[in-house]
Amino acid sequence: MTDTFYIPKTMDNWPWQRAINPHYDEMKAESDVWLKSFKPFNEQSQIAFDKGDTTRLAALAYPYVPKDHLRIGCDFMNLSFLFDEYTDVEDAGVVREMADIVIDAIHHPDKPRPEGEVLLGEVARQFWARGIQACTVTARKHFEDAYTDFVNAVYVQALDRDMNRLRTVESYIKTRRENIGAQAAYMPAVLAIDIPDEAYYHPAVVELCNLCADLLVLGNAHNFPQDLASYNKEQAAGDQYNILTVVMNQFGYSLDEALKWVADYHEEVEARFLDGMKRLPSFGPDIDPQLQQYIQAIAMWPRANDCWNFESGRYFGSKGLEIQKTRIVPIMPKVIDDHRTLRREDVVVPLVDL
């Protein structure tokens, strides 16, 4: 087996270019102080979590929102990645408990959390208590429904993990589309708009949302893990929940063959998204401009995630910008001690150092 692999350039033809919110530094500082006030990790894991720079993903994904909306986006990222780290070390039964706590907190942000509850409940409550002050009634409903779906999908992922279930490519992409939380992640960009259900849930709009989520699954990031970039980290930990592993298993491909398959399929999904934009129906002069704003926000995500993969230290450590140019990644050695044997008070965030 080779000691490196090559990441295909999947985003060269994507029309949406990199942009970053000018309020990034200020809102990052506020959101990070807020999260650390809960003391969610030990010192070493907090350092590793910080290197992931989840708030940079928010600034890249929501480059044009006002300052207060970016703060909500930053908190959203911190909460969602925190939920990911906490649930990764637990079996499905405990993940179900955590999921129910977060769902209850999101739907009842004014309700005090019980004493002794896992901190995820209060983090979620405070995040959305701030969020509802900036969003329309319809945006609130759409976010709460989407976040509930995301959290429930993480539970399904935990079931797969417990049973060592390796899905087919089709089943994996459909499931992953949900458990990366893409639909919820679109919302902080459009909290102030009012898209009625007949437009939001129209099949043509849903198809665009799903296609963009598939691009995230295939090559970019969200809790929200991006499978081309995250493969190295996940294979080192023995994690089979990755599109490359699924493709290699189903088709008997080598890693290089699987990488080519993913790149080719990514190109196909891109083309379907761009074609789908041309076929959006009209919902009238009041709704169409808001819907276009929503679609533009969705389309920004693949570019934002691709940039974040390399600009943060989550997947490539300090070598991200170098790897962005060369596309050559050293394969990390297998991790001997699986951090999933730890309990939630000992959550480990692996520090990537290539």
CA distance 183 to 292: 16
Q: Which residues pair with 330 in a beta bridge?
A: 4
Question: Is the Cβ–Cβ distance between 92 and 73 less than 8 Å?
Answer: no
Amino acid type, 220: N
Residue 228: the pLDDT is 45
Q: Which of 132-141, 218-227, 278-287, 311-320 has the lowest mean pLDDT?
A: 218-227
To the nearest whole percent, how much of the chain has pLDDT over 70? 87
Lowest mean pLDDT among 15-24, 175-184, 228-237: 228-237
10 and 219 Cβ atoms separated by less than 8 Å: yes
pLDDT of amino acid 59: 99
**pLDDT tens figures, 182-208:** 999 999 999 999 999 999 999 999 999
79 DSSP β-pair partners: none
Reported for 22-25, long-range contacts at CB under 8 A and 24+ positions apart, including other chains, are 23/59, 23/66, 23/67, 23/70, 24/55, 24/56, 24/59, 24/70
Give residue for tokens 């992922």: 157
User: What integer pLDDT is reported at residue 36 of this predicted model?
Assistant: 98
Determine the pLDDT at residue 222: 29
Of the pLDDT bands very low, low, confident and very high (cuts 50, 70, 90), residue 339 is very low
Phi-psi region of 252 (alpha: psi -120 to 50; beta: other; left: phi over 0): left
Among 56, 12, 76, 60, CA closest to 301 = 60
| List of E strands, 163-212 | none
Q: Is the pLDDT of residue 306 over 80?
A: yes
Given this model, what pLDDT does residue 224 score? 30
Q: What is the CATH number of domain 23-332?
A: 1.10.600.10
**Two tokens, residue 348:** 């480990």
Distance, CA of 56 to CA of 59 (rounded, Å): 5
Q: Is residue 205 within 8 Å of residue 183, measured between CB atoms?
A: no
Q: 352 pLDDT band (50/70/90 cuts)? A: low
Question: Which pLDDT band holds residue 316 (cuts at 50, 70, 90)?
Answer: confident
What is the Cα–Cα distance from 330 to 129, expressed in whole angstroms?
Answer: 43
- What is the pLDDT confidence band of residue 244, given thresholds at 50, 70 and 90? confident
Q: Residue 86: how many CB atoms within 10 A of its CB? A: 21
| pLDDT given at position 231 | 46
- Whole-model pTM: value is 0.89
- Bridge partners (DSSP) of residue 329 are 5
CA angle 123, 124, 125 (to 5 degrees): 95
- Give the sign of the dihedral formed by CA 227, CA 102, CA 73, CA 344: negative
165's torsion region: left (phi>0), alpha (psi -120 to 50) or beta? beta
Least confident of 1-10, 60-69, 137-146, 224-233: 224-233
pLDDT number for residue 305: 92
Residue 240 pLDDT: 57
- Taking all residues of the chain, what is their mean pLDDT, rounded to a whole number? 89
Tokens read off for 325? 């140019």
The CA-atom distances, in angstroms, between 257 and each of 7, 9, 42, 148, 196 are: 12, 15, 40, 36, 44
31-72 pLDDT, tens per residue? 999 999 999 999 999 998 999 999 999 999 999 999 999 999
What's the average model confidence in pLDDT over 287-310? 96
Does residue 229 have a pLDDT over 80?
no
Please state, in angstroms and rounded to a whole number, the distance separating the CA atoms of residues 309 and 352: 12
Domain ranges of the chain: 23-332
pLDDT exceeds 60 at position 85: yes
Exposure of 88 in the CB half-sphere (CA atoms within 13 A): 22
Does residue 77 carry a pLDDT above 90? Answer: yes
Q: Answer whether residue 232 shows pLDDT above 90.
A: no
Give dist(CA 63, CA 68) in Å, integer.
Answer: 13
Q: pLDDT at position 168, please?
A: 94
Q: How confident is the model at residue 331 (pLDDT cuts 50, 70, 90)?
A: confident
Kindly state the tokens that stand for 83. Answer: 């939920």
Q: Note whether 316 and 352 are within 8 A (CB).
A: yes
Report, as an integer, the average pLDDT of 267-274. Answer: 97
Whether residue 10 contacts residue 263, with contact meaning beta carbons closer than 8 Å, is answered with yes
pLDDT score of 318: 85
- Residue 6 is predicted with a pLDDT of 83
Q: Shortest CA distance to 160 belongs to which of 148, 176, 146?
A: 176
Residue 351 CA to residue 149 CA, distance in Å, equals: 29
**Confidence class of residue 243 from pLDDT cuts 50, 70 and 90?**
confident
